[in-house]
Chains A and B, each alone.
Chain A
Amino acid sequence: MGEDKKLILVADDDKDLVTALSIRLRAAGYAVVGAHDGDEAYEVAHESKPDLIILDVRMPAGGGFASIDKIKHSLTTRSIPVIFLTAFDDEEMREEARRQGAVGFFRKPFDDAEFMGAIRNVLSKS
């Protein structure tokens, strides 16, 4: 049964948040892998080919924008949908995320129902 679960990569340098999201996403029926910096996010994405990537913007070793750039330029990972989750509230950043092919942009702290809804929505299409 576990094989059917959609896999979500949560990349955030706030380990507490990665843990909390993992608990909640698992409870909602998803499998979760975590990463805590930009390079790790790309490596994990490459290895585990998740169905969705939730990406923080400011992380060590290359932030979320460096990661999405690599993700979207790799044949293995380019089709994986990416949702940004950041504490920055910047219109230009939002625009840049859209340009780089992100399917969502959420600002911390986020509306939980909306966030979970967006994840369901994206995964139902994949």
Chain B
Amino acid sequence: MSLKAYRVAYLGSDGEAALALENALKDVGFPFLRETCDPAGVQKAVGFNPDIVLWDTENSQPDEKFPLAVLREAGFDNQPLVAVARRNDMESAVASLAGGAVDFIFKPINENPLPRMLAALNVGQKQLRIDWCNRVIEDTNNQIKGVLSNLSDPAYIVSPEYQVLWMNRPAEEIFGEGQRGGACHHVFYDRTEPCEVCQKNKGSARWRAMLKNGKNYRFISAVVRNGRGEVEKLAVGTDITPDEEVQKIHKTFIANVSHDLRTPLAAIDQYVNILLEGLAGELTGDQREYVDVIRRSSFRLHSLVENLIDANKILSGDFKLRMEVMSIQDILDVVVEMLRSQAEDKGLTFQVQVAEGLPPVYADKARIAQVVANIAGNSIKFTEQGMIQIRGGFMPRDEGRVIVSVEDTGIGVPREDLGKIFELFYRVEKDKVYVEEGAGLGLSISREIVRAHGGTLWAESMEGMGSAFHFALPVHGTGHA
């Protein structure tokens, strides 16, 4: 086995040790240099460009530290340093290790020192690689800081002990300069204790906060390592005040539009009632019929307005669920009778089958009833003969889901439309003529409602044979709330 000829330098005045080393290294063909530890000697040793440097601890005074910094400064940039200590001088050996030596050799050097030196070289190379990685990390961190410095949003780095280590300019403009070293919860939020979000999340987190400039920010944080391998937390905030203002304007606008759309409907209804109740004189048969058309049209307009308002709320995420624990039967009870009479008016068979012993769900009863009314309403609308069947069952997926299916024997949905029927304002066109009224909102709304419950709504259909719409809700107590 041939070894690479490593170059070894010994800095010390112990002739006996130097000779022993020289003899041992000559055997394996390692170039060897012996120099004294004075500046001239060290300089010569640096010029020798060794792979490993042996430092005799007798060069130093008893209480002197291992001269790592001095040697590195002198030009031994990254070579492993090995201490050569007097026999059994464990104190010097340990002090050297603590001071940065990778290993030590005791004198007299009568054993072959080669294995330990090779081990030291190995350690040294590992250390080199670690140093290199750390430099890369440090460079990357500096690059990240460079990018963050140029952001118009605040960014900062804190230690795991909640100490502010670094802030970019926008952060300093909010929190003030000279805050480095302070506790982050104090500097940022005037709190005496660490914030909940940091106590709960040691690593990545997201949170919202109003900062000292009165603006609302959405923060994300991530764990980074600095060049010394220490963990730090980097956080970047985004000013969401403009978004919130837009949302507020949007909300006010919708509230006003809704108000102005509903107001005349109330007057129409009242005058229709006046006419139908004969308060403006008895109506003829024809007049009564026409007024009834006005009443029905007003009702349709009202439904459309409410659907649009509802769709706007749901699709903009501006709706709250009133969650309760309940059975699927509780939900179906809200709508089944209305649906049954609609179906039977059209001469359709209407069936409801709910499996026994279904686990409860955690849901907003009115909203899920709305979903059932919507999909079953569609089934009735698009079925001319045959039947509508609502079934409740259990699907053992994940931790269990309760599944509700509405099946019909109606016209079905063409294959090319099946993927699109949940899109907003989508309507299936039949021979370029709208088959039925509707704005194409119901299914998008229904899907959003089911999604907000952590569930899924999907459809199957065969054109001309019928359709089946299914939705699945997580069973109560499976972690979704």
Contacts and interface: CB of A to CB of B under 8 A. Distances in A.
Nearest to A88: B259
A109 B277 contact: no
A73 B108 CA distance: 104
- The residue in A86, A87, A89, A91 that gathers the most chain B C-beta atoms within 10 A of its C-beta is A87
A109 B279 contact: no
Given A17-B266, A87-B262, A23 B279 contact: yes
5 contacts: A16-B271, A17-B270, A20-B270, A24-B270, A87-B261
A28 to B, nearest CB: 10
B445 to A, nearest CB: 16
A58 interface: yes
A88 B255 contact: yes
A111 to B, nearest CB: 10
A23 B262 contact: no
A108 interface: yes
A3 interface: no
Nearest to A86: B259
B263 interface: yes
A17 B268 CA distance: 9
Which 7 A-B pairs have CB atoms at the shortest separation, nearest pair first?
A20-B270, A108-B266, A87-B262, A109-B265, A109-B266, A87-B259, A16-B267
Contacts of B302: 109
A107 interface: yes
A24 B263 contact: no
Interface of B: 255, 258-271, 273-274, 277, 279, 298, 302, 309, 320
Contact of A24 (B258, B265, B279, B309): B279
Given A17-B270, A87-B263, A107-B262, 8 more contacts: A16-B267, A17-B266, A20-B274, A24-B273, A108-B262, A109-B268, A109-B298, A110-B269
Main secondary structure of the interface of B (DSSP, over half): helix
A90 interface: yes
A83 B127 CA distance: 81
B267 A24 contact: no
Nearest to B260: A87
Contacts of B262: 87, 89, 107-109
Contacts of A23: 274, 279
Contacts of B267: 14, 16-17, 20
Interface string A87-126: 1111100000000000000011110100000000000000
Contacts of B266: 14, 17, 87, 108-110
Given A108-B265, A109-B302, A21 B259 contact: no
A91 B322 CA distance: 12
Contacts of A87: 258-263, 266
B259 A112 contact: no
Interface of A: 14, 16-17, 20-21, 23-24, 27, 58, 86-91, 107-110, 112
B274 A109 contact: no
B263 to A, nearest CB: 5
A17 to B, nearest CB: 5
Nearest to B259: A87
Contacts of A112: 269, 273
Nearest to A93: B255
A118 to B, nearest CB: 15
A58 B274 contact: no
Contacts of B255: 88, 90
B263 A108 contact: yes
A96 B308 CA distance: 26
User: Which of A20, A91, A107 is packed against the most chain B CB atoms within 10 Å?
Assistant: A20
B267 to A, nearest CB: 5
Contacts of B279: 23-24, 27
A24 B247 CA distance: 41
Nearest to A27: B279
A108 B263 CA distance: 6
B276 to A, nearest CB: 10
Contacts of B277: 24, 27
Nearest to A106: B266
Contacts of B274: 20, 23-24
A17 B273 CA distance: 12
A55 to B, nearest CB: 14
Contacts of B270: 17, 20-21, 24
Nearest to A26: B279
Contacts of A90: 255
A109 B269 contact: yes
Given A21-B270, A23-B279, A27-B279, A89 B258 contact: yes
B364 to A, nearest CB: 13
A86 B265 CA distance: 12
B271 A58 contact: no
B263 A14 contact: yes
A90 B279 CA distance: 33
Which of A23, A90, A108 has the most chain B CB within a 10 Å cutoff? Answer: A108
A109 B261 CA distance: 10
Nearest to B313: A89
Contacts of A24: 270, 273-274, 277, 279
A89 B274 CA distance: 26
B291 to A, nearest CB: 14
